[in-house]
Structure 1
């Protein structure tokens, strides 16, 4: 019996050591990434380099079936978006699909489509300032009228004074911005420094555009 117990003890110790050795984690060193996406001037190329290679190698794209259409590439990108959570919005996905179709399937129309997707909409034209609305909003009509003096001069009188002045627009714009006293009597005009240059110009042009009294 002692010999049997000694044998079993040695066997158990051996199994324990063997189990410990087998349980040790393996260290695997992957080779450096050498695959690169096919270069292109399309905007989707830069987006794909930034977004797609976060999760997989460029080799993955070459494993896809040849001659995939742009819509098929777009479906693949959509799968990455919705199934795997790729950080790509829809305009970026459209641009990536256009690039993939052009670079890997030879789609000639991809450049035009990608350019249309990537081109931002033109900024809206600047709004034309409503001079009459500015006069109303800033209380100007409480002191001025078009054709007769109130607290200050009529705008027709102002236009007549500056009609032949070489720097009329600049002068009237500055007077509105800074205010002042003494040009039309001793009642001060408050400054309107909060108005933008565009608003000041609109007011000055409106005043100088009044007909002679």
Structure 2
């Protein structure tokens, strides 16, 4: 009799265990407790380039900002030296078509290593390459290859529009009759041809930059240009 009672108790305990297991595994996935895994927040395009007197800073402002924000720098390994940064910039040119010349690759390598990485191997001559009022950037590779990028029209005024276009990397994103990264100048002129405030609107867009009017690729701001330079560029675009 005692043995029968023990077997009954064991059977009852076993049934409870089976019931508990079935209930647990039948529960919704969200109801099953598990380890808490920390989730890193999605990075935002919040970083700004660190100001510098090095010539590579001006190049980075005008040409690197065409395709990405300064957050790209934060994704690279810390402590990269000049040779490593220079190799990274060369990859951007050769693999991704970045509109930077070989000379600008060197300037960017110096700026990035000195500002964000290990600048111990930078020579005094390279560090002496600072921005001056006469410093200009090289024409993008597409222009040097003789693409259909915009030829300047003297009727845009006494301003050297071709120099403005090349020095500010405009031709890395725009051509007269075809879209590259941004719209063709002919498209812009057609959109605003009946707008009496077209020149004013284009000036504001050039000066402040923006995104959304022609897609989601941002256009960098050109706040360093004078009002006369911006007006000359806007006039040139509207003549296409």
Q: Shared fold by TM > 0.5?
A: no
Q: TM-score range by the shorter chain?
A: 0.3 to 0.5
Which has the larger Rg? 1
TM-score normalised by L of structure 2: 0.34
